[in-house]
Homo-oligomer: A and B are copies of this chain.
Amino acid sequence: MTNTWNRRHILSLADFVPDEYDTVLQTATSFAEVLSRRTKKVPTLQGQVVANLFFEPSTRTRNSFELAAKRLSADTLSFAPGTSSLSKGETILDTAKTYWAMGTDLMVIRHQQAGVSSAIASLMDRLGAKVRVLNAGDGQHEHPSQALLDLFTITSQLDAKHPRISLLADKKIAIVGDIVHSRVARSNIWSLTATGAQVHLAAPPTLAPKLLAEYTAISDDSAQNRQLYLHWQVEPALQDADFVMTLRLQKERMTQHLLPSGREYHQLFGITRERLKLCKPDVKVLHPGPVNRGVEISSDLMDDPQFSLISQQVASGVAVRMALLYLMGSGK
């Protein structure tokens, strides 16, 4: 693989260009092939250190990045909140600086506050440090690696050997659920509109964005805006959709009175076999996990390999994260 990657940090998909998406998809395809071998390890990042700094608890994403790093033969360091010196009054930037001084090459950062990974990336650049920073979820802002693995999952579904963004040019994709609080939705909107797909958001009014403009970089009457639609019911979003992305419903939204109950949400916005009949016949359903069974998706649908891409998303996660660490770690 030749590495023409020029991006130093991966913090947001807002300014990703088509070539970058295609490079990620192509590189991830190579690593997915590595993962299908019996020995799933390559020496690419041997001797390099990947620090997984998850200031917000996480199992799935942390393990996915850790496995990706190990399969690239990197050494890993991890930060677990609770056993941390943060409770000792150190600032997050000072913690990041410590990991840099220890010899970290790549930092993967999750934090409950938007902008933390960007702040750390800026600090590293100011210090002249060669550290690369990857945003693994910052508050309600972005979660680029999740959107990239979603993109890899759906484009691989259309062409397993050569996934590329142009495959989505004429597709309709529904994103259903708690749009306004979702960093996954936000990153996915950037990537999917960049492919030329029609993106239809469906959310209850309390969980819908007030303005679509905040999700688009360009002016209102632009082509991109004519790709992005908002609905307060699920049905128009599902109508003839090729892919349905469901979002996780956080229980705390109910205590905040933004949602009545899981059961009522399921009645209005839950994805069921019945509702899928509105979509294209070969529609596929995604969910970033962990799923509340019977809330976002009906339980039987979740386990039906004809419709559900959920396990493929998890598998894609490792390949895409290997690709991202590889592109950043061996780049210029």
Residues of A at the B interface (CB closer than 8 Å) are: 35, 37-41, 46-49, 57-60, 62-64, 66-67, 70-71, 75, 77, 79-85, 87-91, 94-95, 97-103, 248, 251, 289-293, 310-315, 317-318
Contacts and interface: CB of A to CB of B under 8 A. Distances in A.
Nearest to A295: B89
B63 A77 contact: yes
B59 A84 contact: yes
B90 A318 contact: no
Contacts of A95: 59, 290
B60 A85 contact: yes
Contacts of A67: 49, 75, 77, 102-103
Contacts of A291: 90, 94
Copies in the complex: 3
A56 B48 CA distance: 28
Contacts of A94: 289-291, 293
A161 B118 CA distance: 37
A291 to B, nearest CB: 6
A49 B102 CA distance: 21
Contacts of A57: 82-84, 87
A62 B79 CA distance: 10
A91 B293 contact: yes
A64 B62 CA distance: 20
A259 to B, nearest CB: 14
Nearest to A248: B88
Contact of A315 (B41, B101, B292, B318): B101
A85 B315 CA distance: 18
A40 B315 contact: no
Contacts of A293: 91, 94
A88 B57 CA distance: 11
A243 to B, nearest CB: 18
Q: Which 7 A-B pairs have the closest CB atoms?
A: A39-B47, A90-B290, A101-B314, A101-B311, A85-B290, A41-B47, A57-B83
Given A67-B75, A94-B293, A311-B97, A85 B59 contact: yes
A311 to B, nearest CB: 4
Nearest to A84: B59
Most buried by B among A35, A77, A310: A77
Contacts of A84: 57, 59
Nearest to A88: B290
Given A311-B97, A315-B101, A89 B41 contact: no
Contacts of A85: 58-60, 289-290
A79 B59 contact: yes
Contacts of A101: 310-315
A91 B60 CA distance: 13
A102 B251 contact: no
Contact of A46 (B41, B64, B315): B41
9 contacts: A37-B47, A39-B46, A41-B75, A63-B77, A67-B75, A88-B248, A97-B311, A98-B290, A101-B314
